[in-house]
Structure 1
Amino acid sequence: MGRPKGGKNRKWTYEDRAHVISLYLDEHLSMPQIANKKDIPLGTVRGWIYRFLEKGEEGLVNQKKTGNQFAALHSSKSLTEVERLELEILRRDIEIERLKKGYLVKGVGANKEFVTSKDWNMK
């Protein structure tokens, strides 16, 4: 069962994750028992335990999710000159690779589609 429509995602602290790990390792509770006891989705509990077993305490630290890194070029985010230039170079490298493969962009925004250069010439 997921969250109610319009509900907020729950945030889990490092201490919450560490407590779940201690229940699993020290008290030898199963993953489903921990999920039911703490009202945490089973997949979340399983992920925390597997990451802890694989990476240790580093696996419990929040992983920052990155979105579209190029959006920072067009938004009001304050980037240093070096960061802005690195993003611009990365964007151009991607564009060069796309052109090497023979793809052209037709349309803009959500209507953007990639077509091969041979398809472009036939239309």
Structure 2
Amino acid sequence: MGKKGTPHRKWSKEEKLYYIHLHLDEHLSVMEIERRHGVRNSLVSAWVKRYLEEGEDALEPKNGNPYAALHTSKTLSEVDRLRLIIAKQEVEIARLKKGYWVEGVGAKKEYVTGSGKNTKSSKN
């Protein structure tokens, strides 16, 4: 694990492929790759496993929430629109299972529990 306050290292697909080929083609152990290049052996092992099971496409970086920008997009396909609706409903169901609902909007948003107690939004 990295030090507190340091940014999370992101690896490109090309960098991942480089270390995978060092391991598979040049027969370097993952421990040797860690010693020479400073890349954790567990990370290289995970990349190799994913590469062997799913191919090169599995190494593409997956950044952020895939649904985050969908609600602002005006050119959603029907499938993407339905996926967004399902994702919103799953969040709503999980929240209701915990026993609270939302009253108000924006800065006036409050979470109300079944006992009638109000709590301010944690985002404020």
Offset at residue 79 of structure 1 (A):
2.7
Partner of 1:80: 74
Structure 1 counterpart of 2:84, one-letter code: L
Q: SS at the partner of 2:9?
A: coil
**Are 2:104 and 1:104 aligned?**
no
- CA distance in 1 between counterparts of 2:45 and 2:24 reads 13
Q: Give the equivalent residue in structure 1 for 2:31.
A: 32
Structure 2, unaligned runs of 5 or more: 101-112
Taking the aligned partners of 1:96 and 1:60, their CA distance within structure 2 comes to 33
Unaligned runs of 5+ in 1: 111-123
Secondary structure of the 1:66 match is coil
Greater helix percent: which structure? 1
Deviation by residue 1:23-79 (Cα, 9 ceiling, x = unmatched)? 111111111111221101122111111101111111221123427x4x669xxx733
**Identity across aligned pairs (percent)?**
34
- 1:96 & 1:5 partners in 2: Cα distance? 35
Say if 1:25 and 1:94 are closer, same or farther in 2 by CA, change over 3 A: closer
Q: Hey, what does 1:17 align to over in structure 2? A: 16
**Matched positions, count:** 102
> What's the C-alpha RMSD, in Å, of the aligned pairs?
3.3
Change (3 A) 1:28 1:72: closer
Give 1:91 deviation, angstroms.
2.5
Cα distance in 2 for partners of 1:44, 1:80 equals 38
Is the counterpart of residue 91 in structure 1 residue 85 in structure 2?
Answer: no
Deviation of residue 96 (structure 1)? 5.9
Residue 14 of structure 1 aligns with an amino acid whose one-letter code is K
How far off is 1:18 after superposition? 0.9
CA distance in 2, matches of 1:10, 1:96: 34
What SS class does the counterpart of residue 72 from structure 2 fall into? coil
Q: Please give the TM-score of this superposition, normalised by the length of structure 2.
A: 0.60
